[in-house]
Amino acid sequence: MITSVLRVYVPGPFWEPLDYLMPTTWTESPCVGARVTVPLRNREIVGIVANITHESHTPAHKLKWALSILDQEPLFDEIYLEFLKWLSEYYHAPLGEVLHMALPVFLRKGKLLPEKNIQAVSSDEEKNEKPLTLTPDQELAVRQILSSQDIFQTFLLHGVTGSGKTEVYLQVIENIVRQGKQALVLVPEIGLTPQTLSRFSKRFGSQVIALHSELSEKKRLLAWLAARDGRAKVIVGTRSAILAPFKELGVIVIDEEHDLSFKQQDGIRYSARDAAVVRASQMNIPIVLGSATPSFETWVNAEKGKYQRIDLAQRVGGASLPSWRLIDLRKKYVEAGLSNELLTAIAENLAAKQQVLLFLNRRGYAPAWICHQCGWSPDCPHCDIKLTYHAHPPKLVCHICAKTQKVQYACKECGSKMAPLGVGTQRLEEALQQHFPDIPIIRIDRDSTARKNSFEKILAQVHEGHPQILLGTQMIAKGHHFPQVTMVGVLNPDGGLYSADFRAPEHLAQLMLQVAGRAGREQQPGKVYIQTYWPEHALWQDIAKPDGYALFVNDMLKQRMLAQLPPYRFIALLQAEAKEAKAAETFLKEMLLKAKNIGISDVSMLGPVAALQAKRAGYYRSQILLVSENRASLQRLLKVWIPQVSSDPLSRKFRWHLDVDPVEVL
């Protein structure tokens, strides 16, 4: 009989808590849910107490002593822990890993909580904005959502761009906060956090905090504590904010719910949107999923009545939806990606003292650096991709692993002169400066916004309202309100039409409608120009119509049903990486045998095959796709299979991960 044993969740591939002896010198036992430090191999790590017992499956002489108690009270209460256990079970990650991920880095490092919690709310930044007058549709939306207070209900707020979804969020949250409860607002990207935070701060003052990964360790800890203790009433954050604790959460809002950024793409690959729905269910509160272009999964859930759909079909203030025009590029001269028709439209718009937004989802100067004699161009030695040419300063960059190389001006194969091929945002900026020398060109991409606060400064310049051309990538497509933009031009969007990823058309349509939604949001009507080599394609024909997204979704859902793809099937992806080309595939073949021996017949297993991006950052990638009509069957298989994979000695020789409900099959 052992006197006292701590069962401790630690980060790592451990599917059960590890046992440690509790030192007899400790004057009191740690709380369940509190942090302790324990030895693991040759390291000292931070773990979470699962429980205290007097028995262990480990022989007494092999048990190590716990080292220290870090917390006098639990960091994880029962409801919070229930949510994190669900996350662990659904995404098949060890609970110790999930608990570790949920903590701020400050606490993961074993640092003590501050004795006095410093206020971590917005520095505004006093509240000075009164609620706006709602349209009848907005008023109905607010009433419907508030009718489900203290009841779990998922709402799809399907509002066209510029329909005032944010004001609906604000007035719902105002009612929730008035009752002393908290609200969580998730936005897809950090770039949207400052403007959303500003909008909410003007309404709620110092009750608002930001919670995202770019905060310093100390600021993130203070924000986490403010949410946990209830001092922060409105928490605005990105994906990871769903993992924070809350004292009394009253509503969750997911803005742009369709956005891919809500899915974690490394580590534990959780969906913040799906996790938020589960958390709202556990806490018995409403959740609002807002989007002009809902994901297919959300759309189908609304059609089935699982979600309650609320429509905002009109823009506020009498603004009309933009008109669309497809520019057929076939047999036409195009200079640096710009057709004569598009250049004419830009000139007319600028002459009318308006702003123009041009969208090109390709940063850098040119997608390739190529010999025009023999066709040779340099590849990234670490990835299955061509290097992108950047002109300022000249360099070749891999947009997968970010490795750079010096520019080679002579062809490696034939010695001829190398030159750029294709158009990136840098080259487009250069061409526009030549055509419109007196007009400011504002480029917004990852390169131009790399410095701290640069994005905010650029947006402030845009909002001055002078005639100018905004040029950018996906960063300008979502959520931004540019009152003076009355024209949007889209260059080179055709790549998503024929991608091997079955979700690519869905993502392309959503992106096009989102970027188009930046035009004509005030009194001036908006115009959208799409340059394409396939103007007859069904996607362009659908989304250019007034009810285009619904037409597109219905067409695509018929194809998904016939092909037995999500949202009518449930999928998971097991991917492995290795330095040698066939090694990952060989490993997955061994793991596939384990899966088949489990004997769950209604799960199809496809592969192993090379990933669509077969080589990334020096590793060859192979994958197995699992498909089932029944989510429960897929989960039963994974529950048995993944611990088997994890415990197999062969798995330690490879990098591998599981992705449940992947949003990209790359």
Span of 119-123, 153-157, 485-489, 556-560 with lowest mean pLDDT: 119-123
pLDDT band at 534, cuts 50/70/90?
Answer: very high
Cβ neighbours of residue 630 under 8 Å, at least 6 residues apart? 570, 602
What pLDDT is attached to residue 457? 78
Backbone Cα Rg of the chain: 27
What pLDDT is attached to residue 196? 84
Distance between CA atoms of residues 359 and 513, nearest Å? 12
- Say whether pLDDT at 198 is over 60: yes
Per DSSP, helices labelled H in 599-626 are none
CATH 3.40.1440.60 intervals, the chain: 5-108
The verdict on domain 319-363+425-561 having CATH code 3.40.50.300 is yes
* pLDDT tens profile 307-340: 999 999 988 887 788 899 999 998 888 888 899 9
What mean pLDDT is predicted for residues 172-188? 96
Distance between CA atoms of residues 645 and 407, nearest Å? 44
Greater model confidence, 573 or 115:
573
What mean pLDDT is predicted for residues 444-458? 73
Cβ neighbours of residue 31 under 8 Å, at least 6 residues apart? 49, 71, 72, 73, 74
What pLDDT is attached to residue 264? 96
Helix (H, G, I), strand (E, B) or coil at 18: strand
Residues 282, 288, 291, 293: what is their CA dihedral angle, to the nearest 10 degrees? 50
Query: What is the CB-side half-sphere exposure of residue 619 using CA atoms within 13 A?
Result: 17
What pLDDT is attached to residue 367? 76
What pLDDT is attached to residue 648? 93
Residue 442 φ/ψ, nearest 5 degrees = -110, 110
- Say whether pLDDT at 477 is over 70: yes
Span of 166-175, 329-338, 583-592 with lowest mean pLDDT: 329-338
What pLDDT is attached to residue 2? 60
* pLDDT tens profile 92-134: 999 999 999 999 999 999 999 987 655 555 545 766 788 999 9
- Say whether pLDDT at 61 is over 50: yes
What DSSP designation does 397 have? E
What mean pLDDT is predicted for residues 288-299? 97
* pLDDT tens profile 233-254: 999 999 999 999 999 999 999 9
What pLDDT is attached to residue 472? 84
Greater model confidence, 478 or 488:
488
* pLDDT tens profile 351-403: 999 999 999 887 777 777 888 888 888 888 888 888 888 887 889 999 888 88
CATH 3.40.50.300 intervals, the chain: 136-316, 319-363+425-561
What mean pLDDT is predicted for residues 648-662? 94
The structure tokens listed for 665 are: 């099959």
pTM as predicted:
0.91
Q: Residue 448, exposed/middle/buried by CB under 10 A (0-12, 13-18, 19+)?
A: buried
Cα angle for residues 286, 290, 296 (degrees, 5° grid): 105
In percent, how much of the chain has pLDDT > 70? 97
What pLDDT is attached to residue 261? 93
Distance between CA atoms of residues 133 and 22, nearest Å? 61
Distances (CA, A) of 19 to 40, 93, 181: 11, 19, 39
Distance between CA atoms of residues 50 and 56, nearest Å? 13
Task: Provide the CATH topology of domain 5-108.
Answer: GIY-YIG endonuclease (3.40.1440)
pLDDT band at 461, cuts 50/70/90?
Answer: confident
Distance between CA atoms of residues 133 and 56, nearest Å? 64
What pLDDT is attached to residue 392? 78
* pLDDT tens profile 151-167: 999 999 999 888 999 99
Beta carbons within 10 angstroms of residue 148's beta carbon = 18
Look at the block and give the residue holding tokens 């008109």.
Answer: 323
What pLDDT is attached to residue 121? 54
- Say whether pLDDT at 140 is over 50: yes
| CATH architecture, range 136-316 | 3-Layer(aba) Sandwich (3.40)
What pLDDT is attached to residue 161? 87
What mean pLDDT is predicted for residues 415-440? 88
Distance between CA atoms of residues 633 and 637, nearest Å? 6
* pLDDT tens profile 619-631: 999 999 999 999 9
What pLDDT is attached to residue 123? 47
CATH 3.30.70.600 intervals, the chain: 570-660
444 DSSP β-pair partners? 472
What mean pLDDT value characterizes the chain? 90
Cβ neighbours of residue 3 under 8 Å, at least 6 residues apart? 22, 24, 54
On whether the CB atoms of residues 73 and 31 are closer than 8 A, the answer is: yes
Distance between CA atoms of residues 254 and 154, nearest Å? 11
What pLDDT is attached to residue 541? 93
The structure tokens listed for 247 are: 């004292």
> What is the per-residue DSSP string for 297-314?
HHHHHHHTTSSEEEEE-S
pLDDT band at 478, cuts 50/70/90?
Answer: confident
Task: Provide the CATH topology of domain 570-660.
Answer: Alpha-Beta Plaits (3.30.70)
On whether the CB atoms of residues 602 and 630 are closer than 8 A, the answer is: yes
What mean pLDDT is predicted for residues 544-549? 89
What pLDDT is attached to residue 248? 95
